[in-house]
């Protein structure tokens, strides 16, 4: 295969359950880089949430973040392409969800925004200890989220919602999905993620590939969750994790091992370098 760009989801894919990248996966990434293959983190996180073991590799320069809302050059700290929610639309959505017992945090200028009523009660919204630690390290604390968005009047990359009540999650999803001006996806069972309709990992992957002069059939993507479906469909080769949702395994070209079994490394070694084929 003439693969020139590999887009990798992080949570449930490149990272194990401890949110760590294993030595096996790291070796596979470095092997790709040695062969001139671009490695691109493709995540619902911001670039600040990409593990330092990945960001510290100089050749990993580009990232697709907040589900495709931002394509960025991490070396130059520059956004190449954006598909954002207007601040007015974000404010309307935040005011709507504020009437329910749900945790919400918008992403503005590549930072998550939170407030004390959520920050000090993360477990109440179903966040695991590992995820709580991620939130603590990647959010900016402000007195009131809605007031902040209204005063800043800056576009919003994504709105994250976390639920302690799964029936409420389904109720709000049903309501929100009736709108044509937003895209609703999910990356873990107890969250919802709201983006601009054009902010998908798949579309962002193709835009970055075009920017780099790479054809769509020269791209490969690996993912596990609902927000990875678009990039599995649109990449030249779409790879699903064994621990992924059934929908993603059904549409993938290849199913690799789990994120606890160095599934990313296995896919790279088998599909890109032909090991065991």
Residues with a catalytic annotation lie at 9
Please give the C-alpha separations between residue 272 and each of 102, 220, 253, 267, in angstroms, as whole numbers: 43, 9, 13, 8
- C-beta separation of 127 from 135 below 8 A: yes
* Count of residues in the chain: 277
Q: Are 251 and 229 in contact (CB under 8 A)?
A: yes
CA 197, CA 25: separation in Å to the nearest integer?
32
User: Could you give the CA distance from residue 44 to residue 200 in angstroms, rounded to a whole number?
Assistant: 10
Strands 219-223 and 5-8: parallel
Half-sphere exposure of 150 (CA within 13 A, CB side): 10
Burial label, 57 (beta-carbon count in 10 A; 0-12, 13-18, 19+) = middle
């Amino acid at each position: 295969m003439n693969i020139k760009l590999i887009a990798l989801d992080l949570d449930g894919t490149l990272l194990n359950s401890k949110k760590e990248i294993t030595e096996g996966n790291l070796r596979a990434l470095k092997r790709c880089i040695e062969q001139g293959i671009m490695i691109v983190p493709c995540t619902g996180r911001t670039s600040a949430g990409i593990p330092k073991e990945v960001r510290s590799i100089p050749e990993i320069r580009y990232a697709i973040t907040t589900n495709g809302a931002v394509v960025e050059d991490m070396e130059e700290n520059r956004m190449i392409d954006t598909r954002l929610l207007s601040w007015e639309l974000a404010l309307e959505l935040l005011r709507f969800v504020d009437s329910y017992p749900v945790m919400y945090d918008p992403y503005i200028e590549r930072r998550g925004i939170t407030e004390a009523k959520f920050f000090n009660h993360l477990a109440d919204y179903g966040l695991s200890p590992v995820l709580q630690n991620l939130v603590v390290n990647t959010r900016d604390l402000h007195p009131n989220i809605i007031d902040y968005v209204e005063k800043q009047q800056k576009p919003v990359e994504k709105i994250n919602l976390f639920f302690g009540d799964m029936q409420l999650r389904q109720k709000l999803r049903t309501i929100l999905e009736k709108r044509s001006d937003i895209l609703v996806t999910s990356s873990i069972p107890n969250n919802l993620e709201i983006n601009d309709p054009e902010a998908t990992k798949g579309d962002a992957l193709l835009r970055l590939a075009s920017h780099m002069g790479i054809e769509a059939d020269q791209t490969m993507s690996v993912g596990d969750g609902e927000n990875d479906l678009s990039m599995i469909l649109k990449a030249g080769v779409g790879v699903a994790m064994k621990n992924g949702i059934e929908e993603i395994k059904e549409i993938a070209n290849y199913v690799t091992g789990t994120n606890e079994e160095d599934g990313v490394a296995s896919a790279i070694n088998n599909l890109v370098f032909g090991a065991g084929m």
